[in-house]
Amino acid sequence: MQEASKKEAQRIAIGMIAGLALGLILYFTGLGHVVDYMKPIGDIFISLLKMVIIPLVFSSIFMAMYHLGTPESLGKMGVKAVIYYFMTTAVAVLVGIIFVNLINPGVGADLGTAGLHGLNEGMQAKVSQNSGGWFALYNAVKEVILNAVPKNPVQAMAEGQILQVIVFSILFGMVALYLPKESEPVVKVINSLEKMSLFLTHGIMKFAPVGIFVLMTGVLAKSGFSAIVSLSKYMLTVILGLGCHGILLLFIGSWKSKKSPMFILRGIGPALITAFSTASSAATLPITMANVEENLGVRKDTAKFVLPLGATINMDGTALYESVAAIFIAQAYGIHLGINQQLIIFLTASLAAIGAAAIPGAGLITMSIVLSAVGLPIEGIGLILAVDRVLDMFRTTVNVFGDSVGTLVVDSMLDDSDLKDDVEAVATT
Ligand code: ASP
């Protein structure tokens, strides 16, 4: 890791710790409202990151596609990435299901659901019949696939639909390969766009310590500590599960890439802290790309393609959280879930995570897919709402960590012959 990156990581860490400390002070002195005056700074930081996502993702994927030389090379990388991402998502859900069944955070939880016993019997019947189950699963798969294909690339970019932008960039990059002469001017422009977007990302990162400081202050100064206490067992289950999955990922990443765990953690430290404070994998993406390319030694073409894909479809933290939350809600309502229902939760939680947008609170929205698939009441979401933001910070960190480790692993599985290194020349001549 270069000296400059090290200093940058230190400044970001200081921003986070100072923000947490100030947030606590403001909360306990009853001055939480002061945060309202600081909030615009945090908002500007997030907007700046979002501003650079689309030009960066479009140009990076286009250039990666162009560099790869053939659709087959992209295919090799893409298949490896998708298989790895799906497998780790499935493992994450499994870890969540194991932890929630071991800890049983919802059993006997006093969340105002005790008076609903008559109602609960009706719900239990609905759950036992598996109402909605497999059909809901089919619908979820269909939605994910349909949502990936853009009707209008400009609209996809304007709306920040990253998966659609990825699909368009791949197709456009592929066309450039087939029409090398005609595409030459466009390739040059997009190559410049990529360089400029990266440069801009570095500029925005200089502002990160201040942005993160403000965002962290806001989280603690305005947090509802009472909700945290009554939902502490549930939160603990999610956080323990996330920690366990994170360690597993670190082990896999270190083993496959032959790099030390400390090297990996240090290298992507700034991205992890940004993920924690923004609760958005998409907003963090520019920083994740810079960290993985520059600090982890991943080959550029792998990082450019595999990371944006991961940020959109790979959300281990969200997947784990969805399974814990759904089973917690069932427990809180006193509803028993059999193996069949837990299997449906396993599948739908994986899909809900794949389909969730990389923005704050997206996992909470796609929870409805999981709940309705097993016939649990959607209102159950209300039980966990109060602490969702805090858990979002933890799960987004694991999401970003999963994407980064995934890129490292996929890169280590590719031969040099799969990637062309002399391409800079092609694009810039
Ligand atoms: N905030 C998460 C992310 O951006 C998604 C979620 O809500 O789980 O990765």
DSSP string, 255-293: HHHT--HHHHHHHTHHHHHHHHHH--HHHHHHHHHHHHH
Nearest CA to ligand 1 atom 6: 363
CA 401 to ligand 1 centroid distance, Å: 12
- Residue ranges of the chain whose pLDDT lies below 70: 1-5, 69, 109-134, 223-227, 417-429
pTM score, two decimals? 0.84
How far is the CA of 51 from the CAs of 55, 139, 271, in angstroms?
A: 8, 32, 17
Ligand 1 nearest atom to the CA of residue 318, by list position? 8
CA 283 to ligand 1 centroid distance, Å: 10
Pocket test for ligand 1, best of 93, 280, 368 (most atoms within 8 A of CB): 280
For residue 153, what pLDDT is reported? Answer: 94
* CA pair distance 319, 43, nearest whole angstrom: 27
Ligand 1 nearest atom to the CA of residue 321, by list position? 8
For residue 310, what pLDDT is reported? Answer: 92
Ligand 1 nearest atom to the CA of residue 284, by list position? 4
* CA pair distance 289, 309, nearest whole angstrom: 11
CA 398 to ligand 1 centroid distance, Å: 10
Pocket test for ligand 1, best of 399, 400, 401, 404 (most atoms within 8 A of CB): 399
* CA pair distance 274, 345, nearest whole angstrom: 30
Q: What is the DSSP string of 164-202?
A: HHHHHHHHHHHHHHH-HHHHHHHHHHHHHHHHHHHHHHH
Pocket of ligand 1 (CB under 6 A): 279-281, 315, 318, 356, 358-363, 392, 395-396, 399
For residue 265, what pLDDT is reported? Answer: 95
Structural domains for the chain: 2-424 (1.10.3860)
Pocket test for ligand 1, best of 238, 318, 397 (most atoms within 8 A of CB): 318
Nearest CA to ligand 1 atom 1: 360
CA 429 to ligand 1 centroid distance, Å: 41
* Look-up of token digits 């599985």: 413
CA 10 to ligand 1 centroid distance, Å: 25
* CA pair distance 112, 91, nearest whole angstrom: 33
What is the dihedral angle through the alpha carbons of 246, 401, 268, 187, rounded to the nearest 10 degrees? 160
For residue 424, what pLDDT is reported? Answer: 44
Nearest CA to ligand 1 atom 8: 363
For residue 268, what pLDDT is reported? Answer: 94
Round to the nearest angstrom and report the end-to-end CA distance of the chain.
Answer: 31
For residue 224, what pLDDT is reported? Answer: 60
